[in-house]
Amino acid sequence: MSDEPASLAASPLAHQFDDLQQQREAGEMGMWLFLSTEIMFFGGMFLAYTIYRMRDEATFAAASRELDLVWGAVNTAVLLCSSLTMALAVHAAQLSQRRLLVSLLAATIVLGSVFLGIKGLEYHHKYEKGLMPLAGLAFEWNGPSPGHAEQFFDLYFLLTGVHALHMLIGVAVLLVLLVKAGRGGLLGEFATPVHISGLYWHFVDIVWVFLFPFLYLIGAR
């Protein structure tokens, strides 16, 4: 009896599940249910963007050209790279390759941070050009329909800001996984948290895959 708690703690299977497959699928479905609410959360903002863009497509296209296409494309590539390292990290965890898992988690964290850094640079650039209609800052627009241009930048900062917040949460989650993996956890039958967190990371990547064309590419350059 005395050694039973220790053996329970070492088991990869929580007592409420019949087997490991059921446990893994329950975790997976739970994350997808959460991601469904996230689809609606971001979907509402994408809908607002669509409706405002329909009102004045020409001004939205002109405002879109003010964004830096090169940094936007580079950031998209950075996030796609981070999705690759994340997918490989899940694979390494399932095959119990500890050192590879630690390296790949660290790489994903670095790539996520690079994305946030570039986003910060872009925000600073918009601030300097007077294109940041936040917190009472003056909005400077020389073309026609400055009101609609301001709406575009309102949506730009709302959408990319909420996305960046999701990235920050993702980086924090991966840091926790990195510490656990460094201590020899999350391997083989214990790999489900890496898989579940990976789903979240890839979802945030997908949101950016749509944000990039909607914000940067709607006006031909």
Length of the chain: 221
Binding to other proteins by residue 195, rule CB under 8 A? Answer: yes
CB 216 within 8 A of CB 70: no
* Residue whose CB is less far from other proteins, 107 or 206: 206
The whole-angstrom separation of Cα 206 and Cα 70 is: 19
Residue from 11, 50, 121, 169 touching other proteins (CB under 8 A): that is 50
Binding to other proteins by residue 14, rule CB under 8 A? Answer: no
The whole-angstrom separation of Cα 5 and Cα 79 is: 42
- State the nearest-atom distance from the C-beta of 109 to other proteins, in Å: 17
**Taking the alpha carbons of 128, 72, 176, 101 in that order, is the dihedral positive or negative?**
negative
Residue from 87, 116, 158, 173 touching other proteins (CB under 8 A): that is 87
Residue from 118, 134, 158, 199 touching other proteins (CB under 8 A): that is 199
CB 82 within 8 A of CB 115: yes
- Cβ within 8 Å of residue 73, ≥6 positions away: 212, 216
Binding to other proteins by residue 202, rule CB under 8 A? Answer: yes
Binding to other proteins by residue 11, rule CB under 8 A? Answer: no
* Rg of the chain in Å (alpha carbons): 21
HSE (side-chain half, CA atoms, 13 Å) at 30: 11
Considering only residues 120 to 179 of the shown chain, the ones binding other proteins according to CB under 8 A are: none
Residues that bind other proteins (CB under 8 A): 20-21, 24-25, 28-29, 32-33, 35-36, 39-40, 43-44, 47, 50-51, 54, 57, 69, 73, 76-77, 80-81, 83-84, 86-88, 90-91, 94-95, 191, 195, 198-199, 202-203, 205-206, 209-210, 212-214, 216-221
